[in-house]
Structure 1
Amino acid sequence: MKPDDIILAAPVRTPIGRFGGSLAEVPAPDLGGIALAESLKRAGVAPADVSEVIFGNARSAGVGPNPARQVAFKAGLPQEVPAWTVNQACGSGMRTIISGVQAVTLGDSRIVAAGGTESMSRVPYMLDAARWGKKMGHQPLIDGMYRDGFLCPLCGLIMGNTAENLADRYEISREEQDEYAAESQARAQAARNAQRFADEIVPVPVPGKRGGETLVSRDEHPRDGITAQGLSRLPPIFRKNGTVHAGNSSGITDGAAAVLIMSAATARELGVRPAARVVAYETAGVDPTVMGIGPVPAVRRLLARTGLTMADMDLVELNEAFAVQALACHRELGFDRERLNVNGGAIALGHPIGATGTRIVVTLLHEMARRGARRGLATLCVSGGMGLALLLEACREE
């Protein structure tokens, strides 16, 4: 490892709470603060040594100004440490890492705390006409989740309909999607039973019903015993006679994740143990009507830039916005599926939008360490038609 290599350290996340579940009353900045504080603790980095905080948050209505600044305060960072928030929809949490890498590479920052946080349970309903008054008649409530996420204003489609478009384009059947979704659940179940997520999770304290606190330490969205046959009974949601339904789509959830970014020289100076070095990153745009294919051009650009192939990737974390989306990307990229989302993906674990980009990196880093893997690829699609990709490599001394 060279002194100017950029490394990631102390990857950590909260458990992922189901929609309206145990974390429903915990604001997004609180979740982010818990993750960031734990990352600093694990790394042994003093809060005052952080140059800046960059955090993703994609459902910001009602969260308050600049959620990243709130996260920094919740984590105990001094007021002198600046913070800023990223909203690149599903890619927010990965974009914060990329931005942090750029800041350290340029010498603008020495240590960046990056991550993402989301409380989808707390997304509000809105009354558009209420501010200026309404003389008479009904005024509909606007679902902030629908307007700020599910509906793409660029193509006028619900995200699930863009997934149906992929099913049409790639001729991916309902059966294939359900089998993939069941596999995601089974892998997550195996990982949970083997306690493979334990090292990456920091418990979240929540008020108990009868006073005191309860520690939430396990992901709530995965369901044990899911089968493709069981999923086949669920009705399609987005299109009559369609293929996409609740069971083969990512879960609406709450959670946060964090990681520290610095040079290898800084890590050595402070005694911080690197988790991996950042090799390269890429982003790309695609047709919003098939937004889920976004990882494909992003990954292909990354491979062209590095001279590597998918065969060089030991592990791949590709966010499962939908089963059909993951299958379409896998079909285009062509690699061994045994290396894909080995502990399950967002269909099982959930997709807390602003946090997911960091969450998949956190999970990837821990699994790379567990297996002694050399290279890991994290990638995800982004609503509006984009893809991001990040290539990591285990640290080896030069």
Structure 2
Amino acid sequence: MPGLLWVDLWGLCGVCRGSDLGGVAIRGALNKSGVPAALVEYVIMGQVLTAGAGQIPAGQAAVAAGIPMDVPALTVNKVCLSGVDAIALANQLIRAGEFEVIVAGGQESMSQVPHLQEHARARVKYGDVTLRDSMAFDGLHDIFTDQPMGNLAEMTNGEADHPISRSEQDAFAAASHQNGVRAWKDGLSADEVVPLTVTQRRGGTVELGQDEGIRADTTVGSLATLRPAFSADGTITAGSASQISDGAAAVVVMSKAKAQELRPPWIAEIGAHGVVADPDSTLQLQPARAIARACAREGISPEDVDLVEINEAFAAVGIASTRELGLDPARVNVNGGAIALGHPLGMSGARITLHLALELQRRGGGVGAAALCGGGGQGDALIIRVPKK
């Protein structure tokens, strides 16, 4: 029961707030599920970058989707883990008997994030001021080590225990684009995306119905020409890191009893939730650790998982976590990931969970795991089950 929308930073959706995009995704999820907005009891949406977004962005998105004002809403910020955490929280609340129908997901407009002028109320009486980039400081900068997330990933790449080469990362990134291209050509992605009508700055409208970030001409050879992005002798480039993007994703989560009553075209059952954190801020192995914990809580082994989605914050994260779990790379991110599609921070966890469920359904069912790394050395994973036909 999905709704999904994502685009490039400063692309056609640069004029839209995160809550605008969230409203489109929520409305799409309700339309595809056939669930009336009046039946929704709670809305939970991840959004990381909320400076200038206005009060309760999740509530704004809900109202934009036609959900009544008297339905409560919650905005979740767990950095990159926000979207999957929103879905997991919806599942937990339903299992606890608090609600029967919840809309959950994530949204982000990284194009709309402002620059901040700190201490202006008290200190600036005369002279120039310095601005702080809220997108960097609140989303892409590790607060504990005071460095960009890319620098942190680069440092870990060079460690003796888990060395990851430039060529491995370029190959992973090229595969993300090529798999994304194939998914669109095969019509898989079109099943998930809700078209958006955008009013342009100079008037007139344009309909956006396809990802803007995928590059069909991206190859290992073209990626090899890029300079390191975070250190002169580094291995991470702009091509092997996720794209900064705008987007939203939403799903309808309901109790089994309510699903049996309404009989919507449901996709999947939500299983165990794995949550981890390290004593440091490293990223690479957090998805693997979260998947292992979720599998243990589900009573299965990672070997029992048919498909895996690991958010491609950096190619190194996907490579390291796949290797750590001993997974077959052919079962991981089969239709591309954030390197090709983009990584709207609050949305990505919801996107990979939704995509995983739909891909399992297309393949006749099975068990999947969706996982991400997050700021502060954290990781989340969610087990998804689609009954086999």
Q: Give the TM-score normalised by the residue count of structure 2.
A: 0.96
* Cross-structure match for 1:50: 40
Paired residue for 1:162?
A: 152
Q: Which residue of 2 aligns with 1:113?
A: 103
Please point out which of 270, 274, 277 is paired with 1:282. Answer: 274
Q: In 1, distance between residues paired with 2:68 and 2:172? A: 46
Rounded Cα–Cα distance in structure 2 between residues aligned with 1:323 and 1:194: 24
Structure 1 residue 207 displacement after superposition: 1.0
Matched, 1:381 2:367: no
SS class of match (1:172): coil
The aligned runs of 1:172-321 (5 Å cut-off) are 172-208=164-200, 211-321=203-313
Equivalence for 1:4: none
Contact 2:2 2:28 in 1 (8 A): no
- Is the deviation greater in 202-211 or in 256-265? 202-211
Deviates most, 298-307 or 230-239: 298-307
Q: 1:351 aligns with which of 340, 343, 354?
A: 343
Deviation at 1:307, TM superposition (A): 2.8
Q: Structure 2, unaligned stretches of length 5 or more?
A: none
Give runs of aligned pairs for residues 123-162 of structure 1, distance below 5 A: 123-162=113-152
Q: Which secondary structure does the structure 2 equivalent of 1:275 belong to?
A: coil
SS of residue in 1 equivalent to 2:15: coil
The answer to whether the Cα contact below 8 Å between 1:92 and 1:354 also exists between their aligned partners in 2 is yes
Query: Over the residues paired in the alignment, what is the CA RMSD in angstroms?
Result: 1.4
Q: Is the CA contact (8 Å cut-off) linking 1:12 and 1:201 kept in structure 2? A: yes
Residue deviations 1:219-260, cap 9 Å, x none?
Answer: 001111211121111111211200111000000000000001
Which residue identity is paired with 1:144? S
Letter in 2 for 1:132: A
Q: How does 1:61-72 map to 2 (within 5 A)?
A: 61-72=51-62
Further displaced range: 188-197 or 303-312:
303-312
> Does the alignment pair 1:329 with 2:321?
yes
Runs ≥4 residues deviating over 3 A: 208-212
Q: CA deviation at 1:331?
A: 1.1
**Do the aligned partners of 2:23 and 2:64 also contact (CA within 8 Å) in 1?**
yes
Relative to the length of structure 1, the TM-score reads 0.94
Aligned residue pairs, count: 387
Query: Equivalent residue for 1:363?
Result: 355
1:24 maps to what in 2? 14
C-alpha separation between the residues in 1 aligned to 2:135 and 2:123? 24
Unaligned runs of 5+ in 1: 1-9
* 1:94 aligned to which of 68, 84, 94: 84
**What does residue 6 of structure 1 align with?**
none
Do the aligned partners of 2:154 and 2:234 also contact (CA within 8 Å) in 1? yes
Q: What is the rounded CA distance, in whole Å, between the counterparts of 1:44 and 1:168 in structure 2? A: 50
Distance 1:49 1:140 in 2: 48
2:366 & 2:124 partners in 1: Cα distance? 61
- How far apart in 1 are the matches of 2:136 and 2:370? 27
Would the aligned equivalents of 1:267 and 1:273 in 2 still touch at CA under 8 Å? no
Q: Report percent identity of matched pairs.
A: 41
1:326-347 Cα offsets, whole Å, 9 max, x none, are 1111111111110100000100
State the match for 1:122 in structure 2: 112
- Equivalent-residue separation in structure 1 for 2:360 and 2:204 (angstroms): 37
**Is contact 2:364–2:388 with CA below 8 Å preserved after alignment?**
no
